[in-house]
């Protein structure tokens, strides 16, 4: 069953489709298409998850296919590993970014390594959905950006949608992948809407799902290139619009997939302008932005008019909600970085 | 202390939603006296064919442990956590399983893996340092040896649960399988052990957990590990059955594990079995056990060597004579010679394999890195200075 034939389950409404609804549709369609797909996690059953991403799945597919588990993240992921060993395709929901940490050992020591340690005989097609990031007024432990931990672990794919269409397409791709995928859902964008994103996601052409590992240029530009992903994409698009007033034409690249990393699209977009700023919410030190800046410098050095800059969260524990706006990359901080790209030289 | 009798107070006697006490713990409780069969009438119930097979496996198992330890001294195995003294558990764990069942072993359990049919050289691949795992988990229905303590217990639960999900969804392809997870006494302190037992209880998964309580986690004795009456008592907190067995009595281990597997297979829920045993060697060849346990303690346990105990029984009941003992000893020597020959014939690991199987399809970055290493190796093979660039 293809994505386009099943997408009617959660169709676009007049007010548009939210990212939550698109994720829900992706799960529903994946479960309808493949009986091996099983959802498990905390409160994913009758409640539909604390963000309602699994809404209605246990009613439609039964409690066996959408299982409310005991409250134990290592147990959830460990159980999912055993299920995947037996040929199922588990989709695990971690309730929040910071509450995925108890599962870290299972993720790093088993999920990421099983294919390699068994000489390719035992792959684990597990999707681990993690709502992540701040900007939602969450009290502590509800706003972490944990992507660097995952991206630093060979054997995992790490993807994060920034649009409603990608939320659908990338989640279908993650579930279809024979490799484990950490699927980071930007909480801040859960309630953002698009007119008919699922039709768009279904219309990618080649297959029924968007491919993992491809960045996309969201906005072409000639002055400088903003490299970003997930919750920071709207910030960068706003910054690009604001920069127009200053006569700057900024390109914006949405990475979508941190692992595998699309060097080709990123480097082409940087070479086209000769200037780059990496923007993400996570702390800067040792972050994904550091890797991107290094890769761009190594590959595009002779095209660069200025050092690659980063706009990131500060190197502090995630702040309390009343102060988070100072921590998060803002349009102003992005524009300030752009202004420092040695224009006069 | 006066305990208030609130049974007559309206609204206090019965919680309205039924999440008060839910079951009688008595049937779950282990008998704190470990089950023993050797030296009891129960020993007569065993079929002589099975007794001879158990004996052969024990003797071969002991020889396997000795040979692997010798290979560490020769530098041909990087590290070997011997199960010498625990062979009754190792052998019984493999023998109670049927072909459709799954075994989830730890680093200590290479012998159980061999006893289930994996070639010794393949079972020892991890310890040789050639590859992380040397056997096909699906061919043998054995998960790779797990080193992160207790993590494998949850995998066993998930696999057993998945088998029941498949059976429910598609009865034609149903497999009545049981997953057996092996765990050490120290590993029962890990959160993953607790979570696995809890999930097993809640899901009612057909899993058996065998804790080989050898008294130590490297240097730390059990008393520092747990204040539980026995480790088998931990089962009760998860609503699953706990059983305690003498881990050096191969017939007792075989019987208790067989019953546990049958219980799980019949859909009656998981079982936690604690086998009290002892490792006669150090934690691994890299460990110095004299730093944490007295020689006298080891000697006392040598007197309860599971192989000797069983041979004594077999001779007592007339099932073992010198001719049979010699034949089994010769088979053990053949096994040892066979292992040495397999080691001699084994090819060196291929550096090209480093980049294989990280993902189903290598990423562009991994292809670049593989090409880089291949080019360096080609330069080295040419005798050119590979470090010049
Ligand atoms: C999570 C984790 N922590 C620490 C270790 C290091 N370690 C390896 S074996 C071991 C002792 C385990 O003792 P026990 O569970 O009793 O098993 P035994 O070695 O006695 O068979 C330790 C601490 C590990 N492998 N995994
Ligand atoms: Mg121990």
ipTM of the complex: 0.94
The nearest CA of chain A is from the CA of B179 a distance in Å of 10
Q: How far apart are CA B31 and CA A109, in angstroms?
A: 36
B161 touching A, CB under 8 A? yes
Check residue B122 and give its pLDDT: 96
pLDDT-derived band at B85, boundaries 50, 70, 90: very high
Which residue is catalytic, options A38, A142, A280, A327? A142
Residues A278, A289: contact at Cβ < 8 Å?
yes
Check residue A70 and give its pLDDT: 98
Check residue A66 and give its pLDDT: 98
Task: Parse chain B into domains and list their residue ranges.
Answer: 26-349, 352-381
Q: Is the pLDDT of residue A22 over 90?
A: yes
Q: Which residues in B lie closer than 8 A to residue A89 (C-beta atoms)?
A: none
Check residue A344 and give its pLDDT: 77
First to last CA, chain B: 83
Strand residues in chain A grouped as ranges (E): 17-18, 37-41, 66-68, 89-93, 127-132, 157-159, 181-186, 193-194, 216-219, 224-228, 250-254, 257-259, 276-283, 309-313
Q: Do B359 and A115 touch (CB under 8 A)?
A: yes
Q: Do A85 and B162 touch (CB under 8 A)?
A: yes
pLDDT-derived band at A6, boundaries 50, 70, 90: very low
Q: Which residues contact A73 (CB under 8 A, 6 or more apart)?
A: A94, A99, A100, A101, A102, A103
Q: Is the pLDDT of residue A345 over 90?
A: no
The string over A224-240, giving b where at least 16 C-beta atoms fall within 10 Å of a residue's C-beta and e elsewhere, is bbbbbbbbbbbbbbebb
CA A115 → CA A18, A112, A157, B159, B182, distances in Å?
35, 8, 13, 17, 22
Chain mean position to CA B16: 44
pLDDT-derived band at A5, boundaries 50, 70, 90: very low
Q: Do B359 and A120 touch (CB under 8 A)?
A: no
Ligand nearest the Cα atom of residue B152: 1
CA B2 → CA B5, B6, B8, B20, distances in Å?
9, 12, 16, 22
Centre a 10 Å sphere on the Cβ of residue B258 and count the other Cβ atoms it contains.
14
Q: Is the pLDDT of residue B156 over 50?
A: yes
Find, among A250, A244, A321, A329, the residue nearest to A283 by Cα.
A329
Higher-confidence residue of B63 and A193: namely B63
Q: What residues pair up with A228 in beta bridges, in sequence order? A: A254, A279
Q: Which residues in B lie closer than 8 A to residue A110 (C-beta atoms)?
A: 148, 151, 155
Based on the number of CB atoms within 10 Å of its own CB, is B136 exposed (0-12), middle (13-18) or buried (19 or more)? middle
- Say which DSSP state A121 is in: S
- The percentage of chain B sitting over the pLDDT mark of 70, rounded to a whole number, equals 95
Q: Is the pLDDT of residue B320 over 50?
A: yes
Check residue A211 and give its pLDDT: 83
Q: Side by side, which strands form the sheet with A37-41?
A: A66-68, A37-41, A89-93, A127-132, A181-186, A157-159, A257-259
Q: Is the pLDDT of residue A100 over 70?
A: yes
CA dihedral of B193, B199, B205, B211, whole degrees rounded to 10? 10
Half-sphere exposure of B271 (CA within 13 A, CB side): 26
Q: How far is the CA of B185 from the centre of ligand 1 (A)?
A: 9
Q: How far is the CA of A78 from the centre of ligand 2 (A)?
A: 22
Check residue A324 and give its pLDDT: 97
Going by their DSSP bridges, the two strands A216-219 and A224-228 should be labelled as unpaired
For the range A3-11, what are the long-range contacts, defined as Cβ-Cβ under 8 Å and sequence gap of 24 or more? A3/A29, A3/A168, A3/A169, A3/A172, A3/A198, A3/A201, A3/A202, A3/A208, A3/A209, A4/A199, A4/A202, A4/A203, A4/A208, A6/A32, A6/A33, A7/A168, A7/A198, A7/A199, A7/A202, A10/A198, A11/A198
Q: What is the CATH number of domain B26-349?
A: 3.40.50.970
Q: Which atom of ligand 1 is nearest to the CA of B187?
A: 15
Task: Transcribe B185-221 into DSSP letters.
Answer: TGGGGSHHHHHHHHHHHHHT--EEEEEEE-SEETTEE
> Ligand 1: residues within 6 Å at CB?
B 108, 147-149, 184-187, 214, 216-218, 283
Q: What residues pair up with A68 in beta bridges, in sequence order? A: A41
Q: What would the two tokens of residue A144 be?
A: 């972490």
Q: How far apart are CA A126 and CA A137, in angstroms?
A: 30
Q: What would the two tokens of residue B227 be?
A: 């204040």
Q: Is the pLDDT of residue B8 over 80?
A: no
Mean pLDDT, to the nearest integer, of B216-228? 97
Q: Which atom of ligand 1 is nearest to the CA of B279?
A: 20
Smallest CA–CA distance from B101 into chain A, residue: A86
Q: What would the two tokens of residue B71 be?
A: 């290979």
Q: What would the two tokens of residue B169 be?
A: 């969804």
Q: How far apart are CA B86 and CA A45, in angstroms?
A: 44
Check residue A149 and give its pLDDT: 98
Q: Which residue has the tokens 């900024």?
A: A250
Q: Do B154 and A119 touch (CB under 8 A)?
A: no
Backbone dihedral region for residue A260 (phi beyond 0: left; psi -120 to 50: alpha; all else: beta): beta
Q: Which residue has the tokens 């699953």?
A: B240
Residues A291, A330: contact at Cβ < 8 Å?
no
Q: What would the two tokens of residue B59 be?
A: 């003797």
Check residue B386 and give its pLDDT: 46
Please name the residue whose Cα sits nearest to atom 12 of ligand 1: B217
Phi, psi of A306 (to 5 degrees): -155, 160
Mean pLDDT, to the nearest integer, of B291-309? 97
Q: Which residues contact A252 (CB under 8 A, 6 or more apart)?
A: A217, A218, A219, A221, A225, A226, A228, A233, A236, A237, A240
Q: Which atom of ligand 1 is nearest to the CA of B184?
A: 15
Mean pLDDT, to the nearest integer, of B176-188? 98
Mean pLDDT of chain A: 93
Q: What would the two tokens of residue B353 be?
A: 């394999």
Is residue B107 classed as helix, strand or coil in its secondary structure? helix
Centre a 10 Å sphere on the Cβ of residue A272 and count the other Cβ atoms it contains.
14
Domains of chain A: 3-202 (3.40.50.970), 216-344 (3.40.50.920)
Residues B166, B173: contact at Cβ < 8 Å?
yes
Q: Which residues contact A226 (CB under 8 A, 6 or more apart)?
A: A236, A239, A240, A250, A251, A252, A253, A276, A277, A278, A279, A334, A338
Interface probe for A, chosen from B152, B159, B175, B179 (most Cβ of A below 10 Å), is B159
Q: How far apart are CA A240 and CA B42, in angstroms?
A: 82
Find, among A328, A336, A330, A332, the residue nearest to A145 by Cα.
A328
Find, among B185, B173, B163, B170, the residue nearest to B279 by Cα.
B185
Q: Is the pLDDT of residue A13 over 70?
A: no
* B197-B203-B208 Cα angle (round to 5): 45
A153 touching B, CB under 8 A? no
Half-sphere exposure of B335 (CA within 13 A, CB side): 24
- The percentage of chain A sitting over the pLDDT mark of 90, rounded to a whole number, equals 89
| Model confidence pLDDT, tens digit, residues B336-370 | 999 999 999 999 999 988 999 999 999 999 999 99
CA dihedral of B269, B274, A103, A323, whole degrees rounded to 10? 110
A312 touching B, CB under 8 A? no
> Is position A157 annotated as part of the catalytic site?
no
pLDDT-derived band at B17, boundaries 50, 70, 90: confident
Question: What's the whole-model pTM score?
Answer: 0.94
CA B132 → CA A275, B51, B73, B180, B238, distances in Å?
44, 35, 21, 21, 33
Tell me which residues of chain A, numbers 264 to 293, contact chain B at a CB-CB cutoff of 8 Å.
264
How many helical (H) and strand (E) elements, i.e. helices and strands, does chain A have?
A: 14, 14
Q: Which atom of ligand 1 is nearest to the CA of B218?
A: 11
Q: Do B363 and A155 touch (CB under 8 A)?
A: no
């Amino acid at each position: 069953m293809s994505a386009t034939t099943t997408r009617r389950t959660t169709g676009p409404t007049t007010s548009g489709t939210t990212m939550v609804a698109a994720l829900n549709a992706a799960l529903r369609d994946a479960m309808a298409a493949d009986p091996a797909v099983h959802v498990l996690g905390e409160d994913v059953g009758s409640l539909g998850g604390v963000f309602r991403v699994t809404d209605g799945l246990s009613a439609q597919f039964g409690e066996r296919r959408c299982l409310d588990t005991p409250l134990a993240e290592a147990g959830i992921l460990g159980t999912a590993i055993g299920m995947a060993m037996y040929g199922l395709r588990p989709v695990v929901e971690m309730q929040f970014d910071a509450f995925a940490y108890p599962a870290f050992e299972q993720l790093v020591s088993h999920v990421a390594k099983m294919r390699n340690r068994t000489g390719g005989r035992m792959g684990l097609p597990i999707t681990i959905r993690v709502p992540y990031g701040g900007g939602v007024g969450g009290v502590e432990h509800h706003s972490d950006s944990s992507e660097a931990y995952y991206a630093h672990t060979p054997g995992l794919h790490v993807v994060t949608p920034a649009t409603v269409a990608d939320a659908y397409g990338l989640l279908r791709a993650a579930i279809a992948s024979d490799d484990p995928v950490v699927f980071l859902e930007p909480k801040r964008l859960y309630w953002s809407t698009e007119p008919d994103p699922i039709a768009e996601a279904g219309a990618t052409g080649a297959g029924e799902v968007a491919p993992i590992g491809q960045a996309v240029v969201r906005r072409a530009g000639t002055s400088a290139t903003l490299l970003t992903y997930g919750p920071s994409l709207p910030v960068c698009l706003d910054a690009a619009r604001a920069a127009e007033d200053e006569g700057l034409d900024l390109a914006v690249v949405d990475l979508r997939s941190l692992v595998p990393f699309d060097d080709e699209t990123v480097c082409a977009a940087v070479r086209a302008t000769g200037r780059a700023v990496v923007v993400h919410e996570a702390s800067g030190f040792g972050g994904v932005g550091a890797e991107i800046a290094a890769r761009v410098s190594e590959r595009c050095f002779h095209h660069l008019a200025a050092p690659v800059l980063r706009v990131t969260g500060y190197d502090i524990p995630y702040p309390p909600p009343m102060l988070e706006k100072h921590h998060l990359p803002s349009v102003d901080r992005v524009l300030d970085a752009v202004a420092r790209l040695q224009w006069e030289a | 202390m006066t305990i208030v009798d609130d049974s007559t107070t309206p609204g206090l006697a019965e919680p309205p939603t039924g999440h008060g006490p839910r079951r009688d713990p008595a049937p779950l409780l282990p008998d704190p006296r470990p089950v023993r069969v050797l030296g009891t009438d129960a020993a007569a119930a065993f079929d002589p064919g099975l007794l001879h097979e158990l004996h052969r496996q024990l003797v071969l198992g002991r020889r396997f442990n000795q040979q692997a330890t010798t290979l560490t001294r020769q530098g041909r195995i990087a590290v070997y956590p011997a199960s010498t003294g625990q062979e009754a558990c190792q052998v019984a764990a493999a023998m109670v399983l049927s072909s459709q069942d799954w075994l989830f072993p730890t680093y200590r359990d290479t012998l159980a893996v061999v006893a289930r049919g994996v070639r010794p050289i393949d079972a020892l691949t991890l310890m040789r340092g050639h590859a992380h795992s040397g056997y096909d988990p699906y061919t043998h229905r054995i998960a790779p040896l797990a080193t992160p303590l207790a993590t494998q217990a949850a995998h066993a639960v998930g696999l057993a649960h998945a088998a029941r999900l498949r059976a429910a969804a598609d009865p034609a392809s149903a497999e009545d399988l049981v997953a057996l997870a092996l765990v050490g006494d120290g590993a029962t302190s890990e959160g993953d052990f607790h979570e696995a037992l809890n999930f097993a209880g809640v899901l009612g998964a057909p899993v058996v957990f065998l804790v080989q309580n050898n008294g130590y986690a490297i240097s730390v004795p059990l008393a520092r590990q747990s204040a539980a009456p026995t480790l088998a008592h931990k089962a009760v907190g998860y609503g699953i059955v706990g059983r305690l067995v003498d881990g050096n009595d191969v017939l007792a281990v075989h019987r208790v594990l067989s019953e546990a597997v049958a219980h799980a297979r019949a859909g009656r829920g998981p079982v936690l079995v604690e086998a009290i045993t002892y490792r006669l060697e150090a934690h691994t060849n890299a460990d110095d056990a004299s730093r944490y346990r007295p020689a006298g303690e080891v000697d006392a346990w040598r007197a309860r060597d599971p192989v000797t105990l069983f041979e004594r029984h077999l001779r007592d009941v007339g099932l073992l004579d010198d001719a049979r003992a010699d034949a089994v000893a010769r088979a053990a020597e053949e096994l040892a010679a066979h292992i040495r020959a397999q080691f001699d014939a084994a090819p060196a690991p291929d550096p090209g394999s480093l980049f294989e199987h990280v993902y189903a399809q290598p990423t562009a970055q991994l292809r670049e890195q593989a090409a880089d290493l291949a080019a360096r190796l080609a330069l080295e093979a040419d005798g050119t200075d590979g470090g010049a660039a």
